[in-house]
Every structure is written in structure tokens, then in C-alpha cells.
Amino acid sequence: MAPGSGGPAHDSVTATGWLRHHARQRAEAIALTSWDEGEIRRRTTFGELDRLVDTVARALRGLDAESGQRVVLVLPNDETFAAVLLAVIGTGLVAVPAPGPRTMRAEAFEQRLRAIVRDCCPALVITTEAWRDTVRPALEDSATRVRIRTWEELPAVAAAVPERGGAPDVRVNPRTPAFLQYTSGSTGSPKGVVIDHRALRSSCRQAAVCYRESPADVAVTWVPLSHDMGLITGILRPLFSGYESVLLPTERFARRPAEWLSALTVCRGTLSSAPDFAYDLCARKTTDDEMATLDLRAWRVARSAGEVVRTATAERFAARFAAAGFRAEVLCPSYGMAEATLTVTATTPELPPLRLAVSTEALRAGRAVRAARGTPSTTLLSSGVPLPGTRVRIGDDRQDPHRVGEIHIRGPQLFSGYWRKPVRRSRWHPTRDLGFLDGGQLFVLGRTDDVLVHRGRNFHPADIAAACAAVPGLRPGRCAAFTVEDEAAGELLCLVSEVTGGSGAPSPAQVAAQVRRRLAQVLDLYVSEVALLPAGGLPVTTSGKVRISETKQRFERGDLPVLRPHVPRRTSSEHREERTT
């Protein structure tokens, strides 16, 4: 990987120290920009952010928060989140980012916040006045007393505490926790990933080198700051290297995807990250009138991460926005997870991803073999090479260059364990993701837990989602396939998917017939039961990934909001007839 600047010339241990470095050197430079409803709402300089952090830090002292205690942040995507995060870190507390109520359905929000609080036993939850009553129910059955304080209350609390005159942040051991990042939980219950100060600094330095970051850059994100992608790329990497970050409300992107591109245009954004589904959504939903207002020439690294990167999405996005100045080579897939403080492997415009056509049949058998001409193939896009100091291997590293297996990783950016469950940093971390290496680059296929094994064959979620995306009436990327046991028929394959709805949409029976036909034709996969849901009916993670295991559990309990009339189950004889046809 070609070297870059490697970050700023400071040796601060904590992210709060990075802010103070920039506040001393470039107090009037813009640190954060809040964007909403198509325009810039507020701008905060490094000097102003430093003063906000000092106010919150005094309030935390006034609330008798002790070093090592956890503080849960339920705050919007703006400077309030950044100020509380940095104050918590700078006073030796442990920050716990949590999703806001606007980023998910009410029931899901309450359940997730309750699970986080139960696990980490925080001393404080800091939210806004507007969200206080929504947050409170999640704390009612907590085993320990948890105080709620709002952003609006903090200045009054701070006013009663003596100022320290810009004193440096509390001296901390680099191996002590900076924050707990609760995993999105696409395959199981969320776990608190412990990110210490050393891992955080290592991760930010790796990114600075890899992407050649400098104070001239401008980051733009709509991803929730409670999510590792939003937190790292929207606050912590910009602070490390000293560049501006533009923050959008997540719900604004959900309502109008082109809002993200408008912010990139107006603010001359150079760095931005999002999952594959976001690029697909923009390509499909951006109107010609919106296109006419966009100028994406300044965007030099468009990272795609957080879920399997689909070749078709990258090609569709690049083609759609070429007229707005977007260059195909700046779309850079990467791979990572919360346990690696976001990033493990990356591509750049100078080191682009590989496109590889592999044998479809071999892939289903667990081997990645280049497809012979004229044979069925699957085109895959790589997620790049390991970051500096990082190592990647497949499984137990047997010398089989074609084997698909579980991805294992090592590196200085790795977590120190799950909350109350430390791990030895010297060990390889098994990621529970499936992939293979080719040409020194990593190809990621999906989760080991989510791979559908049916009739002795493996079907990857990304392939099923890609096939379903071509069916009119289905929401792209919003489907889950799994097997259930039936006493009479044995193992049955079920598909649950959201529909687009609206006037002129096909009926549930028509959609079910088409998706069955499509999966049979493209993947030789025969579905016994199709359950169709309204938009928003599937349980998803904070990054938009479908929670397949939870979907299966809710399907078996009958808890999903299935549209009526329900599409009947196919019998074995009907499947045999379909195969023959």
C-alpha cells in the first residue's frame, strides 16, 4: 500500500488530545458541519468544539462520574454527539454509543437500548430533552440505578463546577477502554466490543496512511454515529488527521438518498463511506432533476463497506453518476468490523479492487476457481489488501489457494475483548465471515452463520439478494432465506422479503410466483414458502443488514407482519414438477 501522510505530528494518546492539538494549532479551522434539509445548518471550529468538550467534561465531574464508568450516548448526528463523546473519553470514562430513536422502529430501539444498558451497567445516559421520554422506558428494569441527563441540562451543571483552564486530558493507559462499540447483531445478540486507546490510534493512523488523509480533506456521512462506520469515519479519523466532517441526520438519507450526494456537492466532500445498499439506493432513487444539481468531482475515496460489495451495484452507481463527475475508480470496497476498529482490508484509486469470475458450482462447493469460458460464473469484487501491520488468513491457513473459509485477522487495531470477556491480543481473531484470497486481495462472501446450506449446497445471502432484486415488487436487499423443519416434509426452504407496495404493484401471489421462478432459474434454488412483508417489516441492524437469525425466529413464532393473503407453501411434488419444467 502506497504510503501517505500517516496523520498529524502529535503523540496524544486519546481522541480528546487530538482535538486539543488542533484547537491549539488551528482554532478557527472548521471541525464539524451540521447539514439538514438540503443546507448547512451550523459550523463548529476546532476551538469551539474544544470549549464545548470542556463544558461537558466539567458537567461530568459535577455529576460525580468516576473514571472507568460507562456513559451511554443517545444523541443525534451532530456536534452534540462529538462533544459528549470526547468529554467522556477525556475524563477517563468509557463512552458507549447507542442508536437514536429516529434510526429504527420504536420497539426495536427500546429493546436494543435495554440490552446495551443491561450489559454495560452505565452510570449515566446522556440524551436530548426531546428524546428523554423515549429513552426512559428502556432503563426502568435495569439492575442498577441509571441516571438520565440531557444535553440541554449540561451547561447549568457545568456552571457550578470550577474550570480547569484547558488542562490536558486525564492521563490514561493506552490499553484502557476508550469506548464500547456494540455490534450490529446481524447473526446474534449485540456484544460490547472493547476498543482501547491504542487500537483506536492504530486504526486512525492506518487509515491516514492508506487513504493519504490530510487537513485538506472533507468527510461526509449520514451513517449513525452510534455505528462503527459513522463513529470512526465521521468523528475519529477526521479528528486524528485534522480535517472537516459533515454530519447528516440518518433519517434524512432514508427519506431522500440524494441528500447525501447534495452534501458532498455543496461541501466539496472528498471522503465518504456507506454500505453497498446505500450506493444501490442512490443509483435507483436519484431523479434526473436531482442529478442536474450534483457535482461529485471532489469525491476522491468512496468507501463501500459494512456488507458484501456487489459488482453490479458498483457498476450501476458509477454509470449513473458519471455525468455528475463521479469517477469509477474512486469507488473503493473495503472490509472490516467493530472488532477491528472498523477496517481490515482496503482498496484505493491507486490499488483498485479485483474483479474475478469464478465457477458458480465450485463456489457452492466451497472453492473459488476461475470459471472456464462458457460455464456458469459468478463475478465477485474484492475488498482489497490488509492495512499496514495487519494480517489476514483463511481458516487454519492450509496451503489451498482455492479454498473458501472463515476469515481470520490479526493487527494492532484489533479490540481487546468483549465487555467483561477479555481476549489475548496475540491470537488470530475468527471473524465468522466467509471469504478467500486471490492475488493478495480478500474476497468476502458473507457470514458463516447466514450462509444457506440446502440439499448439500451452499447459497450465499448476497447471491440470493441479487437474484431477488430483479423481481418487480420486491425491495432490493430486503430478503432473508433460511430452512425450517417440517414434521411431514422434512427440511423446507423459506424466503421472507419486503415488498415495495403502492398503486400498480403486483399482487403477493404474482410476486411469490416470480421470485420462486427467478431463484429456480438463477440459482437452482426451490423455495417452499414465501412470506411477503410491508416495507420496514424485516428486522435489520443499524447499518441496514437483515438479521437473518432473528427473522427465522420471528417467522417460526408467527411474529412477522405477513401480508394477507398469505402465499401457500409448496409441496415436494410441486417442486419436483417445477424442476422438471
Residue 287, C-beta contacts closer than 8 angstroms, at least 6 positions apart: 258
What's the rounded Cα separation, in Å, for the pair 58 and 434? 46
Place domain 452-580 in its CATH homologous superfamily. Answer: ANL, C-terminal domain (3.30.300.30)
Buried b (16+ CB within 10 A) or exposed e, 278-297: bbbbbbeebeeebeeebebe
Number of H helices, E strands in the chain: 19, 28
Strand order across the beta sheet in which 30-36 lies: 39-45, 30-36, 244-247, 218-221, 271-274, 301-304, 331-335, 345-346, 385-386
What's the rounded Cα separation, in Å, for the pair 213 and 7? 7
What's the rounded Cα separation, in Å, for the pair 388 and 408? 16
Report how far Cα 105 is from the mean position of its chain's Cα atoms. 18
Structural contact between residues 404 and 434, judged by C-beta atoms closer than 8 angstroms = yes
Residue 463, C-beta contacts closer than 8 angstroms, at least 6 positions apart: 378, 523
Structural contact between residues 34 and 42, judged by C-beta atoms closer than 8 angstroms = yes
- Report the residue count for the chain: 581
Domain boundaries of the chain, sorted by first residue = 15-346, 452-580
Query: Model-level pTM?
Result: 0.84
| Helix, strand, coil distribution of the chain in percent, nearest 5 | 35, 25, 40
Structural contact between residues 305 and 271, judged by C-beta atoms closer than 8 angstroms = no
Q: How many CA atoms, within 13 angstroms, populate the side-chain half-sphere of residue 243?
A: 24
Structural contact between residues 7 and 204, judged by C-beta atoms closer than 8 angstroms = yes
Structural contact between residues 258 and 290, judged by C-beta atoms closer than 8 angstroms = yes
Does 15-346 carry CATH code 3.40.50.12780? yes
What is the structure's pLDDT at 145?
80
What is the structure's pLDDT at 26?
96
Mean pLDDT per 10-residue section of the chain, whose length is 581 residues: 53 93 97 97 98 97 95 98 97 96 80 90 97 92 83 97 63 91 66 96 97 98 96 98 97 94 98 92 95 98 90 94 98 96 98 95 90 93 97 82 92 94 77 93 87 75 88 93 78 91 84 92 88 92 82 90 69 43 41
Neighbours of 67 (CB within 10 A): 11
Q: Do the bridges between strand 147-150 and strand 218-221 make them parallel or antiparallel, or are there none, so unpaired?
A: unpaired
CA nearest to 474, candidates 284, 335, 319:
284
What is the structure's pLDDT at 214?
97
The DSSP-derived string for 13-35 is SSHHHHHHHHHHH-TTSEEEEEE
What is the structure's pLDDT at 429?
94
DSSP letter for 146, please: -
Burial of 170 (0-12, 13-18, 19+ CB in 10 A): middle
Structural contact between residues 381 and 400, judged by C-beta atoms closer than 8 angstroms = no
What's the rounded Cα separation, in Å, for the pair 4 and 11? 18
What is the structure's pLDDT at 474?
94
DSSP letter for 6, please: -
Residue 499, C-beta contacts closer than 8 angstroms, at least 6 positions apart: 473, 474, 475, 505, 508, 511, 532, 533, 534, 535, 563
Neighbours of 250 (CB within 10 A): 23
Q: Do the bridges between strand 94-97 and strand 405-410 make them parallel or antiparallel, or are there none, so unpaired?
A: unpaired
Three-state SS for 120-134 is HCCCEEEECCCCHHH
Burial of 316 (0-12, 13-18, 19+ CB in 10 A): middle
